[in-house]
Structure 1
């Protein structure tokens, strides 16, 4: 399993737009076989940083999702929404291997 960690720098005056963008992507990631762990918007501290976490069974399946999302009409609309609203200033993507508690 691989978990994608996204660290966003946002326009702090467009948090409402980013929240809408986030809600668009959660079902889209799941549509392509991923498990979305949610978006985390600013609360206390920095007012322009948000995070997202989602997992795929393998890096190969994540890459397939990335390729397929570039052709999917709903994904294209979500990309366009972010571009039109300019709610995202920049983002960084990292990948992690999750470790969970011992099996019961």
Structure 2
């Protein structure tokens, strides 16, 4: 598989993981968990300044897909559910992680 083909495949996979998560959703998820930017950064591996820029964007963040997907995954692992109609909720079995 060529590098270009592999990159396209990875990008398509990431789009399925984090297709339309918005900055507002990220901001709301952080609030629901009671987290700060440092904790999101530690859990996702994304620098806190990047997370700050992501959550400041009302629409879909402009950062690289990999970084948005990493933040989304960290928040979901902690108990957040991103709802398709741009909402956010804590999972029913959520507990403070």
Q: Which has the higher contact order (CA 8 A, sep 6+)?
A: 1
Higher strand share: 1
Higher radius of gyration, 1 or 2: 1
Higher helix share: 2
The alignment's TM-score, normalised by the length of structure 2, stands at 0.29
The alignment's TM-score, normalised by the length of structure 1, stands at 0.28
